[in-house]
């Protein structure tokens, strides 16, 4: 059983919803990322989603685009992100880490090399935005051979056929995008989210995480009532951006924010 599957199994037994924060690796400084990861776990994160900087982040809104630009300006590349996970694993062997990014850096490294190095570093899975199931056969096979989960996005516009197709190849969990558009783009409708999550569950047995549009404890609590995981990205990254010139303050500040989300989710 993978670390991701084990974590969701534990949470289900406890009657709890996972909190999954997203941060861009290397933003605003490469040395900030690992301490921030540990601070997020201490604050109640169950799984960490770690963004791999890429020059054309098509699914991301301006907040995360700027985070990517800051990380790239510091020279952070895929190999550096794997090194960060490896360092994180020296103190935390339990918290699942999922990379989120795009295909190009993986193609440059090579599918086999990426999958092997990711496994060796302690990565548990990846969400690769621009690899639809119809085109990812080689990558899926290579990752699964190394025991890595491949997480896929589902949208409000996904048909039941599309959901079923993704269910054939996804593992770990699926990520439901609660709003149309890019990250941080709009406010979510909790009732609409509930309907779509139920439709996904009729077809896919994996846990369903919900992200995009979760900005505060109130929306996190609403989503936690219908989802298996609450995924928060832009609300965290915007706080990191505000402290880009004071990176030492970032772990504590983000930890406090996540603690407020965790409390709201648990209370719901």
pLDDT tens digits, one per residue of 132-146: 888 888 999 999 999
Yes or no: say if 261 and 215 are a contact pair by the CB < 8 Å rule. Answer: no
Catalytic hit among 49, 83, 124, 149: 49
For 243, the 3-state DSSP assignment is coil
End-to-end CA, the chain: 29
SS3 state at 72: helix
Domain 3-267, CATH: 3.20.20.70
Active-site residue, selected from the candidate residues 27, 46, 60, 83? 60
Residues 244 and 254: beta-carbon distance below 8 Å: no
Output the pLDDT for position 133. Answer: 87
pTM of the predicted model as reported, rounded to 2 decimal places: 0.95
pLDDT at 182: 47
CA distance 33 to 87: 10
Q: What is the pLDDT of residue 186?
A: 54
Residue 38, preceding peptide bond in cis (omega within 30° of 0):
no
pLDDT in tens, the chain (268 residues): 899 999 999 999 999 999 999 999 999 999 999 999 999 999 999 999 999 999 987 777 899 999 999 999 999 999 999 999 999 999 999 999 999 999 999 999 999 999 999 999 999 999 999 998 888 889 999 999 999 999 999 999 999 999 999 999 999 999 999 875 444 445 677 888 999 999 999 999 999 999 988 999 999 999 999 999 999 999 999 999 999 999 999 999 999 999 999 999 999 9
- The strand pair at 125-128 and 149-154 is best described as parallel
Q: Helix or strand or coil: residue 34?
A: helix
Concerning whether 107 is annotated as a catalytic residue, the answer is: no
How far apart are the C-alpha atoms of 220 and 247, rounded to whole Å?
26
Q: What is the pLDDT of residue 136?
A: 83
Alpha-carbon distances of 82 from 26, 34, 225, rounded to whole Å: 11, 11, 34
Catalytic: 198? no
């Amino acid at each position: 059983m993978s670390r991701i599957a084990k974590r969701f199994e534990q949470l289900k037994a406890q009657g709890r919803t996972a909190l999954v924060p997203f941060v861009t690796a290397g933003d605003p400084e490469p040395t900030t990322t690992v301490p921030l990861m540990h601070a997020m776990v201490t604050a109640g994160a169950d799984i960490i989603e770690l963004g791999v900087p890429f020059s054309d982040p098509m699914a991301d809104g301006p907040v995360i685009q700027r985070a990517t630009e800051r990380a790239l300006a510091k020279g952070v590349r895929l190999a550096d992100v794997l090194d960060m996970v490896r360092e994180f694993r020296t103190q935390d062997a339990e918290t699942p880490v999922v990379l989120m990014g795009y295909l190009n850096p993986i193609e440059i490294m090579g599918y086999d090399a990426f999958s092997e190095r990711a496994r060796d570093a302690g990565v548990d899975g990846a969400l690769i935005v621009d690899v639809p199931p119809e085109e990812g056969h080689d990558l899926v096979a290579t990752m699964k051979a190394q025991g890595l989960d491949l997480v896929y996005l589902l949208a409000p516009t996904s048909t039941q056929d599309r959901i079923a197709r993704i269910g054939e190849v996804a593992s770990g969990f699926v990520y439901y995008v609660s709003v149309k558009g890019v990250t941080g783009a709009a406010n979510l409708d909790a009732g609409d989210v509930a309907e779509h999550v139920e439709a996904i569950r009729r077809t896919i047995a994996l846990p369903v995480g919900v992200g995009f549009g979760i900005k505060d404890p109130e929306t996190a609590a609403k989503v936690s009532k219908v989802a298996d995981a609450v995924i928060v990205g832009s609300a965290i990254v915007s706080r990191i951006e505000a402290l880009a010139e004071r990176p030492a303050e970032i772990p504590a500040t983000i930890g406090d924010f996540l603690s407020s989300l965790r409390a709201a989710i648990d209370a719901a």
